[in-house]
Amino acid sequence: MGIDRSINLDDLRIIAKRRVPNLIYDFIEGGVDDEAGLDRNESAYRQRRLLPRYMVDISKIDQSIQLFGKTYSSAYGIAPTGGIGNFRRGGDLMLARAARDANIPFIMSGAATAAMEDMAKQAPDHGWYQLYTAKDRSISEDQIRRAADLGIPALVVTVDVPITPNRERNRRNGFGRPLKLSLATKMEALRHPFWLRDYFNHGIAMLENWKAYAPPGSSAEQVGEFVSTQIPTSLTWGDIERFRSLWPRTFILKGIMRSDDAVRAADVGVDGLIVSNHGARQLDRAPPALDMLPALDAAVGDRMTLMLDGGIRRGADIVVALASGAKFVFLGRPTLYGVIAGGDAGAAKAVQIVRDEINKILAQIGCPVLRDCGPDFLCRDQEGRNVRP
């Protein structure tokens, strides 16, 4: 099956899985500990029911939405995913271009394998930057200044990576710094010639946004080792206040799950939150972002923009999230599957599949204007609780 015959995001996942060796696929697909959080993230959407309204004119569907003063073509964007150049060479900028062409935002990961300067050239109005805070705060402050000088519209500070998590798939595969690959892992990689060609031609991809801070002349591997000495690190509210003072435009925190943290964020001038459990890749016992959204909406929904990510696999999931109170949604793994499966065309295909599915769901529930998708489209019991199986 080629990407032109893919009809849903899982088709792209299957193609991507064939293209890369198991150690790469496990890095992308895996969670932590027992990986129960992965299923909870997806199940949270599957358990919600949409209540359709009929006898509505659905001849024209309008997905456009305003976010931080800009009109986007739909209410979803591409979440940050790190190390993309090790999966598909040039993949970061492929996703940035797909977002630009579809008029949706793309968040460049703090562990990107392309430079923010190149993103700003290719997607100046659609590329945001995610900050992974360094132990040496002067590095983070310099990255913030670089992004600000480039005119990048939004800074996303990820707050939910205080320590290195227990990703057991990676440990079993020897995927880390340095690589400790078993003979079986190496032999399995030989079955993926397209990926192997890129690896032998180019080696490990450079973490471009960190290269300037490593010792001069460092190789990609050495820059990666340097980064591993700088992140992860714990943050304080003092750091957030400092970063807010340095950043002149939209300032977002990613990873907030508690109402009291959300209130504190609003108090220090944060513009928006991406409610997230890091795709179930940090704390396996964390709740899905969708489950936490109502409490956060009640606490700060009138003070800041609430977005979320994690577990999105269908356009229907995005509609459920919007009906549950989210103003915007980001998805990471599905668009990553697209770019691995087919480069620029695969990234565009993933984005288009999501858009088409949203169109069908909005028509099916009788909500021709996405901005009007609210809680009345969720099926609830007599006590007002979401109906689940």
256-305 confidence digits (pLDDT tens): 999 999 999 999 999 999 999 999 999 999 999 999 999 999 999 999 99
* CA atoms of 388 and 318, how far apart (whole Å): 17
Q: Which positions are catalytic?
A: 278
220-262 confidence digits (pLDDT tens): 999 999 999 999 998 999 999 999 999 999 999 999 999 999 9
Provide the pLDDT for residue 133.
Answer: 98
Provide the pLDDT for residue 388.
Answer: 57
User: pTM, whole model, 2 decimals?
Assistant: 0.95
CB 107 within 8 A of CB 156: yes
Provide the pLDDT for residue 299.
Answer: 97
